[in-house]
Amino acid sequence: ADKVRIAHGLLSGGAYLHRNGIIHRDIKGDNIMLSEDFSVVLIDFSLAKLVNAAMFEGSSEPQNRFGDISGATHTVSQGTPTYRAPEVIRQEPYGLTSDCWSVGVVLLELLTGHTLKVEKDGQALRLIEEVKTKLPDQPFANLVRGLLEVDPLKRLGARAALNSNVF
């Protein structure tokens, strides 16, 4: 129940940020505070970025991507390798679901009870893929798989993840 409460809090926080045109870009265990009842507070917005809200018109979940369209680019050397989404590592334009990848890594750590510590992006992706394939077919594990979808267009967004049968 505590893991579910933490997952719901992280995804609710992400959905709130994304709905308001903010991408956090550094979601990881070190940037999450928990209260005694396991309520979640995201902290450290030093890498956060406002995205062009005009690009959200008509979209139920904003999927703005950085790059030439918004005039904003991301320096991939920032952030923590273990939690960077594959598209960020590949230096491709990325969107709000890159935060959802990071939430997926945090939830994977929560599910397995182990922190994934690596120094290089390639190592992180291989380790995440290895651990992900060993997950059981259970609702919480399936939620984590959806957040850790390598293809950002297939990856669960925060609001979509909140509709998981886990909650």
Cβ atoms of 141 and 135 closer than 8 Å: yes
DSSP-assigned beta bridge partners for residue 33: 41
> What SS3 state is found at 34?
strand
**Alpha-carbon span 98 to 73, nearest angstrom:** 14
Amino acid present at 30: D
Could you list the beta-strand ranges (E) of the chain: 22-23, 32-34, 40-42, 49-50
* Helix (H), strand (E) at residue 5: helix 2-19
Alpha helices in 20-165 (DSSP H): 86-89, 97-112, 121-133, 139-147, 158-162
Instruction: Return the CA Rg of the chain.
Output: 15
Active site residue 26: yes
Instruction: Identify the active-site residue in 2, 26, 99, 151.
Output: 26
Q: Catalytic residue numbers?
A: 26
